[in-house]
């Protein structure tokens, strides 16, 4: 019989892709979220709409000892949501409550294995000031100094999962995701990340036109296509390694380079108008030495390959005049 799997956050970007992948493997999947996936119907066998901040609701959803639980639900978004400061209290309160409730329900039901999606945003900001040389090695996390409350909550929850692992015998797996992107993700609802935002701007821009870019565009990042994110997530979950471990690309680019690549894919000449905006750290790149060492695997899909797939999907949305409601 296939595994019985619970995906929390199954209506979100990564969670909805994860459900599809688990179904293709023959698992029985229950998804939970505040909402259904936005761009394609869920493939989950059972999809429960509800609020994971409510402990009673979470206990009801965890009604059996699932073989695997993936906890992806969080109050999150791109720089425009996380770095303005306007949502700090919500981000910390909502995501911490979800993690507290989920872990307690798993303990009560004797679930054995849980995956938690942390973020590269938990790394200390002073290690990410040099755009050419950011340090995001897993062991650089402490002394802690994330640049956002989102990052602090991730750090708290990493520790919470590890504590439940130590004290309650739960097998915990923790990944620190670095900028995951791809088709079926937010592209114009205010929670979109740089690759989706830039694909949208380029798709909407006439050939030879100008797009607005937050900051000077010289900040560096790496971006991982969601297919590789899932591959790493499943490999980690089914390994004997707890983590935390980076799941990200180490193909670092500047935001200006990202835009140029997307413009080339679109076959357009695009000018950039640099304007003030929320930015985050100056440089960030995934350090993939630990994942290669412990899992014998690291993501390798070239950035351009993922951008081509994402641009094709977003430009089709733009062409059809779809709203990201």
What is the rounded CA–CA span in Å between residue 139 and residue 116? 18
Smallest gap from Cβ 1 to ligand NAD, in A, equals: 28
What is the rounded CA–CA span in Å between residue 135 and residue 237? 25
101 binds ligand NAD (CB under 6 A): no
- Per the CB < 8 A criterion, the answer to whether 181 and 308 are in contact is no
233 binds ligand NAD (CB under 6 A): no
Closer to ligand NAD by Cβ: residue 120 or 262:
120
What is the rounded CA–CA span in Å between residue 263 and residue 278? 23
- Per the CB < 8 A criterion, the answer to whether 180 and 74 are in contact is no
Phi and psi of 235, rounded to 5°?
-65, -40
H or E element: which one contains 218?
A: none
194 binds ligand NAD (CB under 6 A): no
Residues 70-99 that bind ligand NAD (CB under 6 A): 72-76, 94, 98
Closer to ligand NAD by Cβ: residue 180 or 259:
180
- Single out the residue of 56, 18, 52, 14 nearest to residue 32, CA to CA: 52
13 binds ligand NAD (CB under 6 A): yes
Closer to ligand NAD by Cβ: residue 54 or 135:
54
- Choose the catalytic residue: 70, 116, 150, 311: 150
Residues 15-44 that bind ligand NAD (CB under 6 A): 15, 33-35
Closer to ligand NAD by Cβ: residue 196 or 270:
196
Between strands 253-254 and 220-221, the pairing is antiparallel
Name the residue with the smallest CB distance to ligand NAD.
Answer: 12
List 7, 27, 44, 52, residue binding ligand NAD (CB under 6 A): 52
69 binds ligand NAD (CB under 6 A): no
What is the rounded CA–CA span in Å between residue 178 and residue 196? 15
Smallest gap from Cβ 238 to ligand NAD, in A, equals: 19
What is the rounded CA–CA span in Å between residue 289 and residue 267? 36
Stretch that binds ligand NAD, among 51-59, 159-167, 210-218, 296-304 (CB under 6 A): 51-59
Closer to ligand NAD by Cβ: residue 73 or 155:
73
286 binds ligand NAD (CB under 6 A): no
Q: Where are the beta strands (DSSP E) in 155-270?
A: 171-177, 180-181, 210-214, 220-221, 224-225, 245-247, 253-254
Active site residue 177: no
H or E element: which one contains 272?
A: strand 271-275
Closer to ligand NAD by Cβ: residue 119 or 310:
119
**Cα dihedral across residues 115, 118, 120, 126: positive or negative:** negative
Positions in the binding site for ligand NAD (CB under 6 A): 9, 11-15, 33-35, 51-53, 72-76, 94, 98, 117, 119, 177, 179-180, 193
User: Which positions are annotated as active-site residues?
Assistant: 150
């Amino acid at each position: 019989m296939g595994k019985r799997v619970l995906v929390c956050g199954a209506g979100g970007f990564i969670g909805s892709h994860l459900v599809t992948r688990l179904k293709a493997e023959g698992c029985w999947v229950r998804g939970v979220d505040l909402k259904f996936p936005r761009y394609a119907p869920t493939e989950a066998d059972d999809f429960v709409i509800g609020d994971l901040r409510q402990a009673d609701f979470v206990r009801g959803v965890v009604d059996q000892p699932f073989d695997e639980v993936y906890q992806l639900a969080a109050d999150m978004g791109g720089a425009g949501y996380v770095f303005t400061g306007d949502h700090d209290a919500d981000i910390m309160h909502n995501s911490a409550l979800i993690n507290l409730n989920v872990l307690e329900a798993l303990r009560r039901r004797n679930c054995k294995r849980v995956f938690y999606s942390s973020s590269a945003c938990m790394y200390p900001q002073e290690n990410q000031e040099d755009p050419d040389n950011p340090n995001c090695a897993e062991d650089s996390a402490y002394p802690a100094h994330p640049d956002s409350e989102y990052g602090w909550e991730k750090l708290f929850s990493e520790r919470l999962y590890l504590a439940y692992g130590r004290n309650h015998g739960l097998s915990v797996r923790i990944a620190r995701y670095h900028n995951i992107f791809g088709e079926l993700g937010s592209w114009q609802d205010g929670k979109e990340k740089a690759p989706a935002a830039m694909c949208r701007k380029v798709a909407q821009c006439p050939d030879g036109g100008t797009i607005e870019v937050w900051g000077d565009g010289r900040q560096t990042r790496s971006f991982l296509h969601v297919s590789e994110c899932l591959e790493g997530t499943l490999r980690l979950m089914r390994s004997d390694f707890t983590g935390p471990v980076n799941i990200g690309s180490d193909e670092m680019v500047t935001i200006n380079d990202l835009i140029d690549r997307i413009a080339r894919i679109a076959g357009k000449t695009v000018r950039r108008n640099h304007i003030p905006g929320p930015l985050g750290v100056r440089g960030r790149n995934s350090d993939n030495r630990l994942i290669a060492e412990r899992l014998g695997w690291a993501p390798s899909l070239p950035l351009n390959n993922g951008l081509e797939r994402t641009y094709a999907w977003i430009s089709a949305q733009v062409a059809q005049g779809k709203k990201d409601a």
